[in-house]
Amino acid sequence: FVDGKKVTRLYGEWYHIPALAPGTHKITVTLNANSHEDLTIKGKPISATQDVRVPAR
């Protein structure tokens, strides 16, 4: 997810995020089962979020 919008599903080790507009963006990755359901621990989805700052050009 980029800024809360789903971008793709990953089936490999890497993904190239297309160019982002200048500013701060939230990148979130979640783990999902083959059925596309969220994998959870104690009812909470397994995920990680990182803010990425893109400088003005």
> How many domains is the chain built from?
1
pLDDT at 57: 84
Please, what sign has the CA dihedral across residues 37, 9, 42, 28?
negative
- The range of the structural domain enclosing residue 1 comes to 1-57
Q: For residue range 6-54, list pLDDT tens digits in order.
A: 999 998 889 999 999 999 999 999 999 999 999 999 999 999 999 999 9
Q: Which of 31, 47, 51 is nearest to 39 (CA)?
A: 31
Element (H, E) at 25: strand 23-30
